[in-house]
Amino acid sequence: MVYKKAQPTPKKYTVTVHYVDEQGHVIKDPFTVGSDYADGSRYDTRDHKPDTFSYNGQTYEFKEIQSGDSETGKINGSNVDVTYVYKLPTQPTSPTQPTNQTDPTTPTKPTSPTQPTATQSTKLPQTANAPQRGFVALGLLALLGSLGLIPRRRKNN
């Protein structure tokens, strides 16, 4: 009689999604994505993450994945739990009336402006007018002389 060694049945793992509010209270029943995952196989729970859903008459919005959880990955020898955290949307507050209301006051009439007083003479000083005439005349004589327009005396030999 020959005995054959029985092959061990490979272990199967479960991926479960949990839904909680910001305080950690369960707001939706957990959902089992699958219970036949083999070690090393890939999982993805993103299809089971609604952006919003209603629970007890309130609408919750997705906030975050619980710290330490991963919505996609590989089975690593244990069951996987992914927890999605939801929050209630903030309700806008109605504006309140100011407590200390005061009536506006009538503005006072501005005073008329005064004319500025002159502390210095408004006439600018005249500088370098007389000496420049001499330089201009000297420059013209030099120019005319170089062009030969001033008659020169010629020596008669």
List % helix, strand, coil for the chain (3-state, nearest 5): 15, 30, 55
Calculate ∠ Cα 61-63-67, nearest 5°. 150
Domain boundaries along the sequence of the chain: 12-87
- Going across the sheet that includes 80-87, the strands are 26-38, 12-21, 80-87, 58-65, 52-55
Stated pTM of the model:
0.54
**Secondary structure (3-state) at 27:** strand
> pLDDT 10s per residue in the chain (157 long)?
777 777 777 899 999 999 999 999 999 999 999 989 999 999 999 999 999 988 888 999 999 999 999 999 999 999 999 999 999 988 777 777 777 777 777 777 777 777 776 666 667 766 655 556 777 777 877 877 777 655 555 556 5
Strand partners, 73: 43
- Residue written as token pair 């950690």: 24
Domain 12-87 superfamily per CATH: Putative peptidoglycan bound protein (lpxtg motif) (3.10.20.320)
List phi, psi (to 5°) of 122.
-85, -10
Q: What does the block give as tokens for 90?
A: 């903030």
